[in-house]
Every structure is written in C-alpha cells, then in structure tokens.
C-alpha cells in the first residue's frame, strides 16, 4: 500500500516537472545561503499549496533540526547551510505528508486545526484524516 502511494506521488511530482499541463505545479522555491544561514522563500509556494508559511517553516526546522525564523513576506531564515536540493527534498516530503490526499492522490485539500491536532480534508474525495503534529 505504502509503495503504491509513493508511486503515485512520484508520478505527480514527475508530471509537475515535465509540465504536461498537470494542474498541480507548485512554483519554484528560492533557496540561498547568506553566511552560515540559509534563506528559503516559500511565499508563492505556500500560497499555491494553501498552507501557512509558519507551518512550513516549523516542518523545515524540525526536519533539518535547525533553528529558524519567518518574516511577514514568507522568507524563512534557517541557521546552518542547506543546499536547494536538500530543501526541495524536504518540501516534496511536506507536500506528500500535508497536501496530497492519501486516499485519492488529489492535491486539492485543506488543512484545519482542531484543538491541537491538524486534519487534512480532501475536496476531491471527501476523505478527512489527522496528520502528525509539529512542535
Ligand atoms: Zn481524496
């Protein structure tokens, strides 16, 4: 089951890269190093996938075990140097975990918070399920 889901996600991500007219085509993310810090601009990406920049930043900090901060324009500054490839791998992981519906593979989902838990609701098939919490 898990493998099928992975296949589905790679297919979606591959279609995105080839630009085959797939409707799920998140914009590119700017990643650049400044001294011993890495700046990741997720403003457009966050808007496209309809997720809060703060949530994405917490995910990145958690995954990269790096301290970080967010400004109001959607720029995340992480302590440490990370390549664009590493950041993009994490963002693919984010999309897979928090955006794409695990039931039908649709990227057309919403995230909502109930108490301290996050739920993903799919607008395609109507599935709703909890996702992991980030500290
Ligand atoms: Zn679905």
Rounded to the nearest angstrom, the distance between the alpha carbon of 127 and the centre of ligand 1 is: 5
Q: Residues 6 or more apart from 79 whose CB is under 8 A from it?
A: 36, 37, 66, 67, 68
Q: pLDDT at position 35, please?
A: 97
**How far apart are the CA of 92 and the centre of ligand 1, in A?**
18
- What is the distance in A from the centroid of ligand 1 to the CA of 123? 7
Q: Which candidate, 47, 10, 8, places its Cα nearest to that of 27?
A: 47
Centroid of ligand 1 to alpha carbon of 107 (angstroms): 8
pLDDT, tens only, 56-105: 999 999 999 999 999 988 999 999 999 999 999 999 999 999 999 999 99
State in Å: Cα 120 to ligand 1 middle: 10
- 41-59: pLDDT as tens digits: 999 999 999 999 999 999 9
Please report, rounded to a whole number, the percentage of residues in the chain having pLDDT higher than 90: 71
Mean pLDDT of 10-35: 74
Prediction pTM value: 0.81
Task: Provide the 3-class DSSP secondary structure of residue 59.
Answer: helix
Domains and CATH numbers, the chain: 2-131 (3.30.30.170)
Contact indicator for 64, 89 with CB cutoff of 8 Å: no
């Amino acid at each position: 089951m898990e493998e099928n889901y992975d296949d589905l996600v790679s297919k979606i991500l591959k279609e995105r890269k080839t630009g085959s007219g797939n409707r799920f085509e998140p914009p590119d993310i700017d990643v650049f190093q400044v001294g011993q810090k890495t700046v990741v601009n997720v403003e457009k990406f966050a808007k496209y996938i309809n997720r809060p920049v703060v949530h994405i930043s917490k995910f990145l900090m958690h995954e990269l075990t790096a301290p970080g901060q967010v400004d109001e324009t959607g720029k995340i500054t992480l302590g440490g140097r990370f390549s664009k490839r590493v950041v993009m791998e994490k963002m693919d992981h984010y999309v897979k975990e928090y955006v794409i519906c695990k039931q039908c593979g649709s990227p057309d989902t919403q995230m909502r918070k109930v108490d301290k838990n996050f739920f993903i609701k799919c607008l395609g098939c109507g599935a709703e399920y909890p996702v992991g919490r980030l500290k």
